[in-house]
Amino acid sequence: MSKRKVAYFYDTDVGAYTYGLGHPMKPHRIRVTHDLVTAYGMLDKMHVFRPKRASPEVMSSFHTDEYVHFLQSVTPETAEKMTFSGTRFLVGEDNPAFEGVFEFCSISAGGSIGAAQRIASGAADIAINWAGGLHHAKKREASGFCYINDIVLGIIELLRTYPRVLYIDIDCHHGDGVEEAFYTNDRVMTCSFHKFGEYFPGTGTQEDKGRGRGKGYAVNVPFKDGITDESFRSVFEPVVSRILEVFRPSAVVLQCGADSLAGDKLGCFNLTMHGHSHCVQFLRKQNIPLILLGGGGYTVKNVARTWTYETACALGIENEIDPHLPWNDYFEWFGPRYRLEVPENNMEDVNVKDGSLNIVREKALEQLQQLDCAPSVQMQDVPRESVGKHLGFGKDELKARDDLDKKLALISEREPLAARAVPLVIRLRLPRRQRAVRQPTTALHLGEGEEADEPADGAVL
């Protein structure tokens, strides 16, 4: 394969954060992935960066000031009082106010923004941030384990340079937060391949196509349980090919959520590692600037396997690496199969059984057929501070600042931390997103190792 300039973003602190004992989201999976990428010797083939952490001001180009301020201020001890019994900002037990939540968000968002900057400057053809891809976060609230929508922030950065950006989501869950952000905009096309039905977040039907100027620019491809590599590919390739033809994107952002893999603790698809990675390979061949982001994925060893292999795909060396795993700090985690593979299981592909696969594909293609052509955009430099307003994110800002928001801000500003501290009630129920699939999750007990000294923000490692 032809060589590409690849930028890889990783912060050694990202694996130190925890959502809490028993929570299915494990930030440590990013550290496991990085260790495996390192063991395969891929770092020498990429430009490796520790991202500059996103500031509150940058986050506010999409999110409301009150919400960002809340994330800066909230602690596990103050969460219950600051959220007024869960009526604002944090929604249920999916999204706990864990220690260091704002720093975790700033790492994730900083990586995606940094990736967008490298792409937009022409310094990289492909940029990778496996700590990103948190696609459920909304403008003023957390959702589905996601607090800050790094994807939206990265796309905003791309739009300062590029006229059109395509966002593709292969997570098992619908990319609702990104779709919602650009639902009335024709400069960003969103395309989500996901499980639909009684499944979080319950959105993403084929009738959801965008609104206003964005009508037709939200493409949803809902699947049923058990979709296999062959079935997925039979829809992904023609739909994405048609999008590339009609929309002619200047850059592509691919959210590589790994909960669509076979055997995922919260997923219900049956993709192998190679089937999942085919999406990366397909887009790489298009020679369009590409950003690869993480996302869901709750069977940690399979997440690490797949994102490592997809890093190799970005480099074009996937056929050169040994399927037998090299020794690494987490080698024992990968047993009993110490191989770079995620095989399918014996799930039935309901999409083929009931004939819905062809219907879904044809409906998506029909929607794209009705689009005229790529929207023209007058190219001009958009000042960084006004990009969010340029895209319409600031129009309801005054409306968003309701009495409850003001009350929350006053609590965090006027009362000292000790005065605000209240005991946190620990509930032993599974998070809503986890309960929806009725599968038990075993908590991983993660040991922390020694970390090397880190270079300054933005420095090449």
Q: Does the structure show a pLDDT above 90 at 323? A: yes
Task: Note the pLDDT of residue 15.
Answer: 96
Distance CA 345, CA 348 (A): 9
Place of tokens 């973003």: 9
pLDDT tier, 389 (very low <50, low <70, confident <90, very high otherwise): low
pLDDT value of residue 79: 83
65 is in an annotated binding site: no
Per-residue pLDDT, 309 = 99
Question: Which residues have CB under 8 Å from 221's CB, separation 6+?
Answer: 191, 192, 193, 194, 206, 235, 239, 360, 361, 364
At 89 the pLDDT is 82
Q: What is the mean pLDDT of residues 431-444?
A: 39
Residue 221, judged by CB atoms within 10 A of its CB (0-12, 13-18, 19+), counts as buried
Residue 176 annotated as binding?
no
Cβ-contact 14, 425 below 8 angstroms: no
Residue 446: predicted pLDDT: 32
pLDDT tens for each residue of 241-263: 999 999 999 999 999 999 999 99
What pLDDT is attached to residue 93? Answer: 84
449 domain residue, yes or no: no
The mean pLDDT of the chain is: 86
| Nearest of 61, 1, 13, 5 to residue 451 by alpha carbon | 13
> Which of 6, 38, 249, 278 has its CA nearest to residue 127?
6
210 a known binding residue?
A: no
Whether residue 446 lies inside any domain: the answer is no
Q: Is a pLDDT exceeding 70 seen at residue 452?
A: no
The parent domain of residue 363 ranges over 6-435
| CATH code for the domain in which residue 224 is found | 3.40.800.20
Higher pLDDT, 240 or 197: 240
Q: Is 136 a catalytic residue?
A: yes
Give the pLDDT of residue 433: 52
pLDDT above 80 (res 161): yes
Q: What is the pLDDT of residues 328-352, one digit of tens each?
A: 999 999 999 999 999 999 999 999 9
- Kindly report the pTM of this predicted structure: 0.84
* Radius of gyration, alpha carbons of the chain: 21
Predicted local confidence at residue 359, as pLDDT? 98
Distance, CA of 235 to CA of 169 (rounded, Å): 13
Calpha distance 389→370 (Å, rounded): 29
Q: How far apart are CA 262 and CA 350, in angstroms?
A: 14
Percent of the chain beyond pLDDT 90?
75
Whether 266 shows a pLDDT value over 80: the answer reads: yes
Q: In what order do the strands lie in the sheet with 290-293?
A: 47-49, 6-9, 126-129, 290-293, 251-255, 165-169, 188-195, 218-223
Q: Characterise 92 by phi-psi region: left (phi > 0), alpha (psi -120 to 50), beta (else).
A: left
Average pLDDT (348-357) is 97
Band the pLDDT of 304: cuts 50, 70, 90. very high
Check if the beta carbon of residue 121 is closer than 8 Å to that of residue 155.
no
Asked whether the beta carbons of 152 and 136 are under 8 A apart, the reply is no
In a domain, 208, yes or no: yes
Q: Mean per-residue pLDDT for 38-63?
A: 98
Domain count, the chain: 1
Which of 23, 34, 69, 136 is an active site residue?
Answer: 136
Indicate the range of 46-60, 320-334, 371-385 predicted with least confidence. 371-385
When pLDDT is averaged across residues 2-13 and rounded to a whole number, the result is: 95
Establish if 440 belongs to a structural domain. no
Is 194 within the bounds of a domain? yes
Residue 398 has pLDDT above 50, yes or no: no
354 is in an annotated binding site: no
For residue 91, is pLDDT > 80?
Answer: no
Any domain includes 455:
no
Residue 177 predicted with pLDDT over 60: yes
Contacts of 148 (CB under 8 A, 6+ apart): 54, 59, 63, 68, 71, 105, 106, 108, 109, 134, 137
Average pLDDT over residues 425-443: 37
Q: Is residue 263 part of a domain?
A: yes
pLDDT of 358 reads: 98
* Residue 400 counted as domain residue: yes
Q: Is 197 annotated as a binding residue?
A: no
